[in-house]
């Protein structure tokens, strides 16, 4: 069985690792498999920590940009949402509708 969680938020890498361990233990108990390949770590501003976090005994990778609900969250100093892809898709659809009339 595959599962997806929208996100875990923690103020420290230690706290985040504890939450990942809770998710792993819950998954073992209820036969739920969390996919570490599709899981990403991102910071809210500042530099990427040197910490290594694991899920299912696999190391999770730090990312500078994460796609969530079709939008890209970036780890800039003010933690922006990158709308360029969403705008591009909107204009593409809009132009297709206009040209079909």
**In terms of pLDDT, which residue wins out, 59 or 69?**
59
Q: How far is CA 8 from CA 12, 84, 93, in A?
A: 11, 25, 33
| pTM for this prediction | 0.68
Count the domains in the chain: 1
Distance CA 18, CA 86 (A): 34
Domain containing 37 equals 2-99
**In terms of pLDDT, which residue wins out, 66 or 31?**
31
Contact between 39 and 9 (Cβ < 8 Å): no
| Mean pLDDT, residues 6-20 | 88
Per-residue pLDDT at 77: 63
Reported as a single tens digit per residue, the pLDDT across 18-64 is 999 999 999 999 999 888 888 889 887 778 888 999 998 899 999 88
């Amino acid at each position: 069985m595959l599962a997806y969680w929208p996100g875990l938020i923690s103020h420290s890498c230690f706290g985040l690792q504890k939450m990942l361990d809770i998710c792993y233990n819950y998954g073992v108990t209820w036969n739920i498999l969390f996919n570490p390949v599709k899981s990403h770590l991102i910071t809210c501003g500042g530099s990427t920590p040197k910490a290594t976090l694991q899920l299912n005994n696999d190391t999770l990778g730090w990312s500078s940009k994460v796609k969530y609900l079709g939008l890209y969250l970036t780890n800039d100093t003010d933690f922006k949402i990158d709308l360029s892809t969403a705008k591009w898709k909107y204009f593409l659809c809009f132009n297709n509708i206009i040209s079909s009339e």
